[in-house]
Structure 1
Amino acid sequence: MTPRFFALIPCAGSGSRSGATMPKQYRSVAGRDLLHHTLAAFDACSELAATLVVIAPDDTHFDARRFAGLRFVVRRCGGASRQASVLNGLHALAEFGALESDWVLVHDAARPGITPVLIRHMIGVLKDDPVGGIAALPLADTLKRVAPGSGGRIARTEAREGLWQAQTPQMFRLGMLREAILDAQQNNHDLTDEASAIEWFGHAPQLVQGNLSNFKVTYPEDFDLADALLRQRQHPGSSH
């Protein structure tokens, strides 16, 4: 059977670093909830069998009416951590016929700059890969390491050759990713993304070049940047 492609959007975080009074995925950006922009990019990709949004069981902000017309499903199975939400989401995908051999693209809800072009490019590059891979960008900035307890003083400059900044989507076989996350958790291995679980499991994911617009909205000032980017996409001929 030809493998199918599913998207999984963990959306159970509180977004505490954003300074918002509500989870950042529900803040208005360029006239829509931030999550709406994220979902719209996946909705535009007919290659996907389903897009699953994982929210917290006690989420009182989610309102399906604000996402009317977009193709996705929701499950209130978010966990205490991002990886717990991803793992619960992988289990939930079985409801929609997802098999061990199917692909899942895990994407941060707070990356509204994702485009259908990047999603399709990742699928095209990775669909025959034995492991899978992630969107990422080669580091362009100089890296400085700060010594603990130094009050923010530079200890040394780190070489940036060969270093990439991980983004999402991160695309792996559903069965492999689930087993990798379970194995890492059982061994108390700290997981920072899906690729780190796959690496822990002994595999080497492929890097697929992403783009700067696919940044993660994290801090208060990021909302203005995302707003400007998305408004420019909505009105490409405008100079404002």
Structure 2
Amino acid sequence: MASLPQYSAVVPAAGIGKRMQAECPKQYLHIAGKTIIEHTLANLLAHEQIKQVVVVLNANDTLFAQLPIANHIDIKVVEGGQERSDSVLAGLNYLSEDKDWVLVHDAARPCLAQSDLTALLQLANQGNIGGILATPVRDTMKRSAECKTSQQSYVKHTEPRENLWHALTPQFFNCGTLRRALNETRHQNVSTTDEASAIEYLGEKVILVEGRASNIKITQPEDLLLAEFYLTQQQAK
């Protein structure tokens, strides 16, 4: 029986998470008995097709080394940069092999379902540039404008939600193509909020793979209870 293809994952974790109003970066907050980043990394490493995870840390990070998972044989640590794209590039440069495919996953998304990850990894066999996990937008979407006199926002118009998706992670691309896209957007001073937007800048098509809405990114204090609920449900299965 042929062995399944193996892939590396890059987890940028150099941010400080200002919106969490916490004393430490959000990835080090505890839920369901562990730090958020421990849940995230253990989730990736549990998949049979993940061979290693490159964690990209802030140069001043002293917390990660204290976690038990930091000693895992398949965890590698590199120093990140000021922006997310800088940290992802640092991870890609550590991997170096342009021909390989690589996942990029948020450190603060601990609730990734294994079946969603499996579905995303299938893109490597389909002859395309790569893709992302995403969920269709179900809420009514409003475009806002700001009133100059009151500085309050008001509804400019309602956006049709057809064909709108919430971008999630992991995002999965050929390593060399993603490195080229991130370097190009940096050179052109183009702002990117995820890896897919850099690939889009090259004019390439990014595949959408529908994933679970439970794959939330913890950015606000109220997200902690929801993430803990999802993790508890996953662990009970």
Q: TM-score, normalised by structure 1?
A: 0.90
CA deviation profile, 1:125-153 (whole Å, cap 9, x unmatched): 44333200000011000001110235022
Supply the distance in 2 between the matched residues of 1:124 and 1:81 (Cα, whole angstroms).
29
Q: How has the CA–CA distance of structure 1 residues 83 and 19 changed in structure 2, closer, same or farther, with 3 Å as cutoff?
A: same
Equivalent of 2:62 in 35, 60, 63: 60
Supply the distance in 2 between the matched residues of 1:70 and 1:46 (Cα, whole angstroms).
16
* Aligned twin of 2:145: 147
Runs of 4+ in 1 over 6 A off after TM superposition: none
Q: How has the CA–CA distance of structure 1 residues 57 and 124 changed in structure 2, closer, same or farther, with 3 Å as cutoff?
A: same
Q: State the AA in 1 paired with 2:108.
A: A
Q: How has the CA–CA distance of structure 1 residues 10 and 233 changed in structure 2, closer, same or farther, with 3 Å as cutoff?
A: same
Gaps of 5+ in 2: none
Identity of matched residues, %: 41
Supply the distance in 2 between the matched residues of 1:225 and 1:233 (Cα, whole angstroms).
13
Supply the distance in 1 between the matched residues of 2:76 and 2:57 (Cα, whole angstroms).
7
Q: Is the 8 A contact 1:6 1:105 kept in 2?
A: yes
Q: How has the CA–CA distance of structure 1 residues 189 and 32 changed in structure 2, closer, same or farther, with 3 Å as cutoff?
A: same
Equivalent of 2:86 in 84, 87, 90: 84
Q: State the AA in 2 paired with 1:29.
A: I
- SS of the residue 2:64 aligns to: coil
Q: State the AA in 2 paired with 1:87.
A: L
Q: Is the 8 A contact 2:134 2:208 kept in 1?
A: yes
Equivalent of 2:53 in 51, 54, 67: 51
Supply the distance in 2 between the matched residues of 1:127 and 1:148 (Cα, whole angstroms).
46
* Aligned twin of 1:169: 170
TM-fit CA distance, 1:158: 0.9
Q: TM-score, normalised by structure 2?
A: 0.92
Q: Is the 8 A contact 1:3 1:103 kept in 2?
A: no
- Root-mean-square deviation (CA), in Å? 1.8
- SS of the residue 2:98 aligns to: coil
Q: Is the 8 A contact 1:53 1:72 kept in 2?
A: no
Aligned length: 231
Supply the distance in 2 between the matched residues of 1:185 and 1:6 (Cα, whole angstroms).
23
TM-fit CA distance, 1:12: 0.6
